[in-house]
Structure 1
Amino acid sequence: MWSPDEIASLCYNHFNKLPKRGKPEAGREWTLLAAVILLTDSSELKTVRKQVVSLGTGTKCISQSAMSTKGDILNDSHAEVIARRGCVRYLTEQLFRAVSGQSSDVFCPGSEEGKWTVKPGVSFLFFTSQTPCGDASIFPMTGSQAQPCEPVNALQSEESERRGLKRHAECDLEETRQSPRMKTSDNHSSRRKSGNTSEHEAITENKESSPLNEVLRCHPGVERAHPPDLHRTGAKCVPDSPADPLQPGLLYHSVGVLRLKPGRGERTLSLSCSDKLARWGVLGFQGALLSHYLQAPLYFRAVVVGKCPYSHQAMQRALKTRCSDVRDLPSGFSAHDPEILQSALGFPHNHTHTEAKHTHTQGRISPCGAAISWCAVSQQPLDVTANGYKQGVTKKALGTSQARSLISKVELLHSFLKLVAATEELPESLRGKDLKTYWDYKQAAGAYQQAWTQLRLQAFPLWPRSPPELLLFS
């Protein structure tokens, strides 16, 4: 009914039809793309309607020191996060239409009072042009893949561990000179460093086997005749978790662990896209606010990756295996098992294609500083940001509504409050409560918070929590 190439082509064509604003300069800037696709199955016609309902581009996130207590800045502008936030904006409008008695493409009344469910035949796919940053990006290179940097060897390993953080910070400073508030996750670039990783630490605790043999067993395409090498991620392990061994070959990284972007320079509070996709696979991608209205969470039917360095085993590990044993979830929640597929079509604006078109007169290749959000809403579907705010905003306007992205936390809260105001029969979780702040509404989503607690306890106990003061806006 649909193929990975169809999905990739649909997303790329949709991007091409968007205005030029926020797009990378050909041959000099690169970016990444992600999208949410609405599938509507028609059993009578034996057809599937495929519609992009949210699309995002971007590679950057802000440092912890730049975060706002007003909820008016985008902390994480990686394409996957932008696409998901745009989808939440789309779903909010679809729920508004439903509660207002208008036609919704997605929702119909549920069996519980004040609750809604997805229409029969409706499902969602997630597309990303690049392997998600973090754990899904850690896998061995095959012999045919180019290595941009020299492999780490035994003589270099000790020195690499000692000097690594300093060298990474210097590289990051050079990459982000024009945008000091934003950082680019180096694993979200095609310029991954060399080395290799074990596949054992977080998945097979205390397993009495060779990490080298474990990776080679999981990745039979890696040639044993030569020292194996891998795609590294720049995202660093979260505080209090075991650090990466930083040893040569397969022992450079730990796998299965939570990681923070960007991995170089000042830390952020943004978890890697691998970690966020894994979380959405248990809690749903609708978020806490919309879960008030939904009889069950929304899960992606499949995750499709564009042509890029890719490992199905690493994707399975990062998105599914880490959460597969989570139990005692509230009714409707589950450790979802999406299909994981790869397309043979690459994004024309990724690093590889940009490098092929680059000329020496254009200067150095760099990530595009803008992030594009488009979603299928009736008003202002396009939202272009840079440094977490609307692109082109003046310093004088910072802190005002004119500077805010339409997918910022505070704007999504305001859209949700309009939905609440338009609802005659409120869900039970919103009745008779004095809810004022973003934090209040999130915490009142009882089933969602119970599921989140179980996920943290059983799979992600070291998931960093945002300081409460960052969530007390209204």
Structure 2
Amino acid sequence: MQPAILVHTVYKMAPPGYSAAAAEPQHALQGRLPGQGPQVRGVRAGSSKKLAKLAAARSALAALEEGGAGPRAEAAPSQAGLQQSLADHIAKLVNEKFNELMKHDAVHSKRKVLAGIVVTTEGRAEGARVLCVTTGTKCVSGEHMSVSGRALNDCHAEVAARRCLQRHLYAQLLQYAQAADPRAPLPDNDLEPAPGGGYRLKASRQLHLYVSTAPCGDGRIFSPHETATEPDRHPNRLARGQLRTKIESGEGTIPVKNCSNALQTWDGVMQGERLLTMSCSDKAARWAALGLQGALLARLLRPVYLSSLVLGSLLHPHHMYRYATPLYSVILLVVRVSNP
């Protein structure tokens, strides 16, 4: 999590400011973070406003953590503290696995969005396993669609992670299919036989989706320059809560203006109509209602839901709260909501 966000949420301090006061080197900007005493004052130089603010936040955060000074936020329950530590652990596991896989691949190590799914047992960080690590920010254009299914329409990181999870679930079901008794529980399997037929995710298993940024679509409709602690003054404006589609062969989303006329046909797309692909925010909401297993696996598997959605740095707490609360009850471990 960014140092400035930690200073805002945990210590309830004002955002870092900047000035053109003399600094080393000369003419550099100084980031100043007001505090209750010299031990919590961060003053650092930077060549830009952003770097000056970041350096000031880091300096003040180090002083606060070392000395325990400064006005803290209301004490959170111990469970919330464990959740935050679990979220940090999940993010660390996904990033470490990606760096391990890309250690000798400088070309593919460059990425804008990183996602991954981690499975835990009994909600503990010990023994957590990374099921998949994915990257991606693009969608296929209509002219490159494959009638045989050889081309993926949506290659965003979150969607690719869900596809990897489906493959893992198929492999888990295959273990039961090859067992002497398909209805006997397998200790090392993430699934178990369900009463009445079929299978389900074990009650002791939890799935966590990590995304390095807020999901594209309604969850990312904010400006990164807004103050993270400032509430949304216009939560009901028309731009909020709209279904959005991804831009073909590009990045970003646009609202679906006429949902009733959004029927797509293959020949229509081939003739130049825009291919409509749901935003990741809308897909995450659908997964929260229907599960991650998909239609085919639903014949054998009970709905599989996420236990948490862990977000990285690029997010706005109030916008994520507005987006997530009315749609599904996923716990936002990175965003500490004081008034749930």
TM-score, length of structure 2 as denominator length: 0.58
Indicate the residue corresponding to 2:307 in structure 1: 301
For residues 47 and 201 of structure 1, do their structure 2 counterparts lie closer, same or farther at Cα, with a shift above 3 Å needed? closer
Structure 2 counterpart of 1:277: 284
Separation in structure 1 between the aligned mates of residue 290 and residue 146 of structure 2, nearest angstrom? 25
Quick check: which has more Rg, 1 or 2? 2
**Could you say what secondary structure the match of 2:277 adopts?**
coil
Please report how far the alpha carbon of residue 303 of structure 1 lies from its aligned counterpart in structure 2 after TM superposition: 0.2
Give the drift of 1:95: 1.0
| CA-to-aligned-CA distance 1:271-293 (integer Å, 9 cap, x gap) | 11111101101000111111111
Q: Which residue of 2 aligns with 1:223?
A: none
Partner residue of 1:126 out of 192, 197, 209? 209
Contact 1:34 1:127 in 2 (8 A): yes
Kept in 2: contact 1:126–1:302 (CA 8 A) = yes
Q: Is the 8 A contact 1:32 1:59 kept in 2?
A: yes
1:110 match = 194
Please report how far the alpha carbon of residue 75 of structure 1 lies from its aligned counterpart in structure 2 after TM superposition: 0.8
The percent identity for this pair of structures is: 33
| Paired residue type of 1:34 | A
Report the alpha carbon displacement of residue 8 of structure 1 after superposing the two structures with TM: 0.8
Per the TM alignment, residue 266 of structure 1 is displaced from its structure 2 partner at its CA by 8.3
Deviation at 1:59, TM superposition (A): 1.1
**CA positional deviation for 1:241:** 4.9
What one-letter code is carried by the residue in structure 1 that aligns with 2:114? L
Q: Distance in 2 between matches of 1:92 and 1:315?
A: 32
User: 8 Å contact 1:63–1:269 — kept in the other structure?
Assistant: no
Q: Equivalents in 2 of 1:316, 1:127: separation in Å?
A: 17
Shift of 1:15: 0.5
Q: Could you tell me which residue of structure 2 aligns to residue 341 of structure 1? A: 333
- 1:399-422 CA distances to partner (integer Å, 9 max, x unpaired)? xxxxxxxxxxxxxxxxxxxxxxxx
SS at match of 1:49: strand
The whole-number CA distance in structure 2 between the counterparts of 1:126 and 1:201 is 29
| Separation in 1, partners of 2:308, 2:241 | 26
Q: Report what 1:236 is aligned to.
A: 254
Q: Is residue 31–residue 57 contact of structure 1 (8 Å, CA) maintained in 2? A: yes
In the aligned structure 2, how far is the partner of 1:235 from the partner of 1:51? 32
Q: Map Cα deviations across residues 32-67 of structure 1 (whole Å, 9 max, x no partner).
A: 11011111128xxx7742111121111111112221
Q: Does the 8 Å CA contact 2:200/2:303 hold for their aligned counterparts?
A: no
Tell me the distance in 2 between the aligned counterparts of 1:98 and 1:307.
40
Q: What's the secondary structure of 2:323's corresponding residue?
A: helix
Q: Tell me, what secondary structure is at the counterpart of 2:189?
A: coil
Cα distance, 1:123 vs. partner? 1.1
C-alpha contact (below 8 Å) 1:135/1:318 kept by paired residues: yes
Provide structure 1 residue ranges, at least 5 long, that are not aligned to the other structure: 146-195, 206-232, 243-264, 324-335, 345-474
After superposition, the Cα gap between the structure-2 partners of 1:111 and 1:199, relative to the gap in structure 1 and judged at 3 Å, is: same
Q: Alpha carbon RMSD of aligned pairs, Å?
A: 3.3
* Cα 1:203–1:133 shift into 2, 3 Å: closer
Distance 1:238 1:141 in 2: 24
Give, as a single letter, the amino acid of the residue that structure 2 aligns with 1:65: E
What is the alpha-carbon distance in structure 2 between the residues aligned to residue 35 and residue 343 of structure 1? 18
Match of 2:319 in 1: 314
| TM-aligned CA distance change 1:23 to 1:123, over 3 Å | farther
**Aligned counterpart, 2:238:** 201
CA 298–23 in structure 1, closer or farther in 2 if over 3 Å, else same = farther
| Mapped contact 2:89–2:125 kept (Cα < 8 A) | no
Corresponding residue SS for 2:313: coil
> Equivalent residues in 2 for 1:428-439 (5 A)?
none
2:161 matched residue in structure 1: 83
Q: Distance in 1 between matches of 2:335 and 2:92?
A: 9
Structure 2, unmatched stretches of 5+, are 1-81, 181-185, 243-250, 261-271
